[in-house]
Amino acid sequence: MSEVPDSQHVLDDVVQREYQYGFSSDIEQELLEKGLSEDTVRFISAKKQEPEWMLEWRLEAFRTWQRMKEPTWPNVTYPVIDFQDIIYWAAPKKKEGPASLDEVDPELLATFEKLGIPLDEQKMLTGVAVDAVLDSVSVKTTFQEALKKVGVIFCPMSEAIQEHPDLVRKYLGSVVPVGDNFYAALNSAVFSDGSFVYIPKGVRCPMELSTYFRINARNTGQFERTLIIADEGSYVSYLEGCTAPQRDENQLHAAVVELVAHQDAEIKYSTVQNWYPGDAEGKGGIYNFVTKRGICEGARSKISWTQVETGSAVTWKYPSCVLKGDHSIGEFYSVAVTNHYQQADTGTKMIHIGKNTRSRIVSKGISAGRSQNSYRGLVRMNATATNGWNYSQCDSLLIGDQCGAHTFPYLETANSTATVEHEATTSKIGEDMLFYCNQRGIDTEAAVALIVNGYARDVINQLPMEFAVEAQKLLAISLEGSVG
Amino acid sequence: MTPILEITNLHASIDGNEILKGINLTIQPGEVHAVMGPNGSGKSTLASVLAGREEYTVTEGTVVFHGHDLLDMSPEDRAREGLFLAFQYPVEIPGVSTANFLKSAVNAQRAHRGLSPLEPAEFLALMKERMALVEMNPAFLQRSLNEGFSGGEKKRNEIFQMAMLEPTLAILDETDSGLDIDALRIVANGVNAQRTPHNGMIVITHYQRLLNYIVPDVVHVLWNGRIVRTGGKDLALTLEERGYDWIKTESSVEA
């Protein structure tokens, strides 16, 4: 007696691919002891030889944080975090400051090489300048000289504090205030490094800027701080990528990103987030609690967020736009994938203040395994936002029947001339679709990748070309073994 | 001559209900077999079982495809070995262009045969050539697969895909349903252009109409899960004249 092969079984048996960035590097680390106090903050500030004003800023943030409570409203659950059980400073040990690449620890270069981020400028993707941040410290920023020629500043945040204190003092915390939320306050107190970008008036940044974040050390948190300022009439496209080693324990990542777009300026900010998501049983993984916000300060300015989120055990993240300038534009394009036991509560906020401001939200959630994927978005039309316009499209794609997709749209309109449109769909990758692909010779894994990339196409198309290809592969990899 | 397909005493059921109750059918290279029968006789089940749809359980019998046990193969391997099903209800895949879908399919099948992927220019030229067989506009290549296609466009797209994949055995499952007379002619011409002395076809249809255009070598009448009559193309004409009741009555008497 023979049976038609049960493709359900075939799907069930598909091997799970390991998280391919899960290695850890044997780099000599300088670690602070676990725990958080004013002394920790002072230590970090001293380590970075920061000016007094910076220390004061951090201490105020720390005191604010102590009075705050962890938010419980996101649709995610995780054990209580013991903030005294985290290391707040880890740095690759180095001899006196490496001036050139030759002096950087070869093991460290090998780490970035393994991640596909060669720091050797000769080997770089043409037109992409990279700042690489390992644990708490920025390791190497490439193409600085070429950028300097056109007046673009692209450097580690710690260097900006030393070299461009006026810009940092003016803008740091201007978009995400110290006391904005629990994790933003924590970040403000203990942030170690991150990237700083300044594009002068009328300059179109000649290359993509990119920061690569990597958590390596055990038990450490990563708290990076990014600040991008696009002065009048300038343009910049910025991309961040993130990975972490595979570890049994959860690690905390609490970043803050602030964007400022002046009159007629445009900032395009793209993220491919692939922090370690935990294993198939939900053990380990990164807690990704991030505050990202941009302000369209001047008239006709534009900020566009594009994110492809496949990693992290728990994600809590709402890249937002404050549309202050008249005729300014905010955009949010997101693909969030959750598999196994991952939880994501992500979305955006579009705050319309100026007249004729426009925003567009395209969110594509993909849930597989036993994961939970929530879209949470706020569109607010202030009384001043005459003729404000928003269009939101929130789609959910379910793979299997043990995952969840949730949508929490909040609409607040205080101006009767404003238009707010919201569309939402939920669909499933059906057996019919998979069988159709199989019948054409496409195996199930490839079929899922094909279908998901089709579903996410509107968002992927927003990414710079080099990264769109990476993002497509990443989507396919994170969903391997998800059907069944 | 080795048959392309040899079905022996095939029994299959779904949710415990037996639909196919002992099918015997052999297809030699170059042959077109029509499978006709009233609604619910098991025609589409036969197509689904041959293509490997998981809902059906084969409880008895064997199917040999080019000398191999077909029932032992996954649906994608059946396709890669040359079995093609033109769906009665083609599936829509939003965001995946027809061109991209076909590229994945063709290259997956080429890889199975140890061939390298086709160069983009070569592939595009091939698609345009094969689309012409069913008078399809190349603009369809960039549209999402079957999304917003009319019934006739979907069926033409099935035959276009068949032309791209060059199967050795094509099963057309009610490809004529929902087609007007012009579309029927176009689809039939596309199918006829693909008849060779080496491949075989199973044309499943409810009506004789299609067989005026795709002329079969053998006609089978399926009723209640069994082939109750086999004849030449004239059998289809007789059915058209007398309807299926005649067959049902005779079969019941024989049973």
Question: Is pLDDT of A144 > 90?
Answer: no
Q: Give the model confidence (pLDDT) of A63-88 as tens digits.
A: 999 999 988 888 888 888 888 888 88
How far is residue A322's CA from residue A380's CA, in Å, rounded to a whole number? 10
Contact residues, A window 395-434, toward B, CB-based 8 Å cutoff: 431-433
SS3 content of chain B, % helix, strand, coil (to 5): 40, 30, 30
Nearest to B76 among A2, A438, A454 (CB): A438
> In chain A, which residues have their Cβ closer than 8 Å to the Cβ of B73?
5
Min Cα separation B182/chain A (Å): 27
If we measure between CA atoms, which residue out of B214, B161, B215 comes closest to residue B191?
B214
Residue indicated by tokens 């993130």: A242
Q: Do B72 and A456 touch (CB under 8 A)?
A: no
Mutate to test the interface with B, among A14, A393, A437 (most CBs of B within 10 A): A437
Min Cα separation B13/chain A (Å): 10
Q: Do A4 and B71 touch (CB under 8 A)?
A: yes
Question: Is pLDDT of A123 > 50?
Answer: no
Q: Do B96 and A451 touch (CB under 8 A)?
A: yes
Q: Give the model confidence (pLDDT) of A23-57 as tens digits.
A: 566 666 677 788 899 999 999 999 889 999 999 99
The kind and range of the H/E element at A162 are: helix A157-163
- Give the rounded distance of the alpha carbon of A431 from its chain centre: 33
Burial A220-252 (b: 16+ CB within 10 A, else e): bbbbbbbbbbbbbbbbbbbbbbbbbbbbeebbb
**Tally of domains within chain B:** 1
Q: Which residues have a Cβ under 8 Å from the Cβ of A193 and sit 6 or more positions away?
A: A133, A136, A137, A138, A156, A157, A158, A224, A225
Q: Which amino acid is at A233?
A: G
Min Cα separation A17/chain B (Å): 20
Question: Is pLDDT of A470 > 80?
Answer: no
Range of the domain at B147: 5-254
Residue indicated by tokens 């209580």: A80
| Residue of chain A whose Cα is closest to the Cα of B69 | A2
| Residue of chain B whose Cα is closest to the Cα of A428 | B93
> In chain B, which residues have their Cβ closer than 8 Å to the Cβ of A3?
57-58, 71
User: Chain B within 8 Å of A458 (Cβ-Cβ)?
Assistant: yes
Provide φ and ψ at A366, rounded to 5°.
Answer: -130, 115
Task: For chain B, count helices (H), then strands (E).
Answer: 9, 12
User: Chain B within 8 Å of A484 (Cβ-Cβ)?
Assistant: no
**For position B49, what pLDDT does the model report?**
97
Q: Residue A436, Cβ neighbours under 10 Å: how many?
A: 23
Q: Do A438 and B95 touch (CB under 8 A)?
A: no
> Are B189 and B160 in contact, with CB atoms under 8 Å apart?
no
**For position A145, what pLDDT does the model report?**
79
Q: Do A440 and B105 touch (CB under 8 A)?
A: yes
**For position A2, what pLDDT does the model report?**
35
Q: Do A441 and B108 touch (CB under 8 A)?
A: yes
How far is residue B48's CA from residue B12's CA, in Å, rounded to a whole number? 10
**For position A50, what pLDDT does the model report?**
95
**For position A120, what pLDDT does the model report?**
54
Chain A and chain B share a number of CB contacts under 8 A equal to: 110
Q: Which amino acid is at B168?
A: T
The sign of the torsion formed by the CA atoms of A32, A36, A39, A45 equals positive
Q: Give the model confidence (pLDDT) of A242-260 as tens digits.
A: 666 666 677 888 999 999 9
What's the predicted TM-score (pTM) here?
0.81
More confident of the two residues A8 and A144: A144
Tokens at A187, concatenated: 């970040």
Per-residue CA distances from B30 to A58, B85, B195 (Å)? 81, 17, 7
Question: Is pLDDT of A233 > 90?
Answer: yes
Enter the ipTM: 0.96
**For position A255, what pLDDT does the model report?**
92
Q: Do A8 and B54 touch (CB under 8 A)?
A: yes
Tokens at B26, concatenated: 């052999």
Q: What is the CATH number of the domain that holds B230?
A: 3.40.50.300
Question: Is pLDDT of A12 > 50?
Answer: no
> In chain B, which residues have their Cβ closer than 8 Å to the Cβ of A1?
58-60
> Are A135 and A93 in contact, with CB atoms under 8 Å apart?
no
| Residue of chain A whose Cα is closest to the Cα of B51 | A439
| Domain chopping of chain A, boundaries | 26-317
Q: Do B95 and A440 touch (CB under 8 A)?
A: no
> In chain B, which residues have their Cβ closer than 8 Å to the Cβ of A432?
91
Give the residues of chain B that fall short of pLDDT 50.
Answer: 255
The SS3 assignment for B14 reads strand
Min Cα separation A57/chain B (Å): 48
How far is residue A253's CA from residue A220's CA, in Å, rounded to a whole number? 9
Q: Do A454 and B85 touch (CB under 8 A)?
A: no
Q: Which amino acid is at B174?
A: E
Q: Give the model confidence (pLDDT) of A358-388 as tens digits.
A: 999 999 999 888 888 999 999 999 999 999 9
The kind and range of the H/E element at A303 are: strand A302-309
Q: Do B57 and A446 touch (CB under 8 A)?
A: no
How far is residue B31's CA from residue B25's CA, in Å, rounded to a whole number? 12
**For position B245, what pLDDT does the model report?**
84
More confident of the two residues B65 and A401: B65
Nearest to A438 among B57, B75, B112 (CB): B75
Question: Is pLDDT of A108 > 80?
Answer: no
How far is residue A291's CA from residue A317's CA, in Å, rounded to a whole number? 6
Mean pLDDT score of chain A, rounded to an integer? 83
User: Chain B within 8 Å of A81 (Cβ-Cβ)?
Assistant: no
| Lowest mean pLDDT, pick from A163-172, A394-403, B8-17, B219-228 | A394-403
> Are B10 and B49 in contact, with CB atoms under 8 Å apart?
yes
Mutate to test the interface with B, among A366, A436, A448, A461 (most CBs of B within 10 A): A436
> Are A363 and A375 in contact, with CB atoms under 8 Å apart?
yes
**For position A244, what pLDDT does the model report?**
62
Q: Do A442 and B105 touch (CB under 8 A)?
A: yes
Q: Do B75 and A435 touch (CB under 8 A)?
A: yes
Nearest to B71 among A2, A453, A458 (CB): A2
The kind and range of the H/E element at A146 are: helix A144-149
Nearest to B95 among A1, A431, A454 (CB): A454
Per-residue CA distances from A72 to A182, A254, A309, A384 (Å)? 11, 16, 22, 32
Tokens at A168, concatenated: 């940092």
**For position A222, what pLDDT does the model report?**
80
Min Cα separation A178/chain B (Å): 42
The SS3 assignment for B100 reads helix
How far is residue B126's CA from residue B5's CA, in Å, rounded to a whole number? 28
Tokens at A240, concatenated: 């961040």
Task: For chain A, count helices (H), then strands (E).
Answer: 12, 23
The band of A207, judged by pLDDT with boundaries at 50, 70 and 90, is confident
The band of A481, judged by pLDDT with boundaries at 50, 70 and 90, is low
Q: Which residues have a Cβ under 8 Å from the Cβ of B130 and sit 6 or more positions away?
A: B160, B163, B164
If we measure between CA atoms, which residue out of A134, A333, A157 comes closest to residue A242?
A134
The SS3 assignment for A357 reads coil
